[in-house]
Structure 1
Amino acid sequence: MKNIYLASPLFNDGEIKNIERVEDILRSRGFYVFSPREHEVREGNVGSLAWSLDTFTNDVRGIDACDVVVALYYGGYSDSGTAWEIGYAHASHKPVVVVQLGEDSNLMIHEGCHTNLTSIEELESYDFDAMPRERFSGKMF
């Protein structure tokens, strides 16, 4: 069974709906999914130094333990935490599957990932064993 870390912003209803959908798709395929949304640190005062360190450490451990990172990427607006998770995974030699959900894009995200998908639906059939590479073909800045 592959262990998948799900990186994504989770700051509005649309983003949370997409995360939940991806969690369901990946789990229905038999994968273990570490989703920071489900594994958030709930102890301590949100925003405090202790909470921040616990959250950071928890997410880093999730990436370290995974086989692959799936990242929901909304383009130029990009959440800085998601961008950091993608960069850390790349530096840790973890393959990153980016699901492009925005209209614009940043070259650092796409050049630093293993493959690019253009919809959540593509996760239903993406071959996580063979890990085919698909380069991003849209406009990057």
Structure 2
Amino acid sequence: MKNTNPVANTKIYLATSFFNEEQRARIPQALAQLEANPTVGVVHQPFDFQYKDARVDSDPAGVFGSLEWQIATYNNDLNAVGTSDVCVALYDMDQIDEGICMEIGMFVALHKPIVLLPFTKKDKSAYEANLMLARGVTTWLEPNDFSPLKDFNFNHPMAQPFPPFKVF
């Protein structure tokens, strides 16, 4: 018989934008829910693994934004996607980020599940999701609600492929 008990062995790739304070503030909220989840073993948050510790606000080696940093960052993220089991994407509907779209696309190409938590400031009826994103995501959560991340079964991720938005 298949084991249905929770096992903390799933590696999550936490994809998120990092361009403003509101986006950065979402990370600890998501991490708190994922860390309390009994099916999560590891959460890879790319901003915790920056090449030569280069960040927008701190660049000890003076490489942030350089071609060297770009290539290393891309390869580090690509490797982390390859070794992760599931993508949890914190997707900002108000400020589309091509980087997170690329990460989602890599998970689609590798046939790995994507759990997308959208963030909106307007009523969800005011948004439309692009069909490529809408059909690529395995599980859509309700906008702005971190709580499902705590109880989601990442050992056996079930699809909920219908976005809470119109699709075009």
Displacement after TM superposition at 1:82 (Å): 0.3
Does residue 9 (structure 1) correspond to residue 17 (structure 2)? The answer is yes
Question: SS at the partner of 1:77?
Answer: coil
2:47 counterpart of 1:21:
no
With structure 2 as the length reference, what TM-score do the two structures score?
0.78
**Unmatched tracts of structure 2, length 5 or more:** 1-8, 55-60
For the 8 Å contact 1:75–1:101, the answer to whether it is kept is yes
1:110 aligned residue = 134
| Structure 2 counterpart of 1:63 | 81
Paired residue for 1:124? Answer: 150
CA distance in 2, matches of 1:72, 1:25: 13
AA matched with 2:167: M
Question: What percent of counterpart residues are identical?
Answer: 30
Q: Distance in 1 between matches of 2:167 and 2:49?
A: 32
**Contact kept in structure 2, 1:76 and 1:106, CA below 8 Å:** no
CA distance in 2, matches of 1:106, 1:8: 18
- Secondary structure of the 2:80 match is helix
Change (3 A) 1:99 1:117: same
Higher gyration radius (CA): 2
Question: SS where residue 71 of structure 1 aligns?
Answer: strand
Q: CA deviation at 1:76?
A: 5.7
**Quick check: 2:15–2:100 contact (8 Å CA) kept in 1?**
yes
Separation (CA, whole Å) in 2 of partners of 1:110 and 1:127: 21
SS of the equivalent of 1:47 reads coil
Q: Does 1:39 align with 2:65?
A: no
2:167 corresponds in structure 1 to: 140
Task: Measure how far apart 1:137 and its partner are.
Answer: 3.6
Q: TM-score, normalised by structure 1?
A: 0.91
Q: 1:40 & 1:112 partners in 2: Cα distance?
A: 27
Q: Aligned with 2:46: secondary structure?
A: coil
Alpha-carbon displacement from aligned partner over 1:92-111 (angstroms, at most 9, x marks no partner): 11111111112423222121
User: Any unmatched runs of 5+ in structure 1?
Assistant: none
Cα RMSD of the aligned pairs, angstroms, is: 1.5
Runs ≥4 residues deviating over 6 A: none
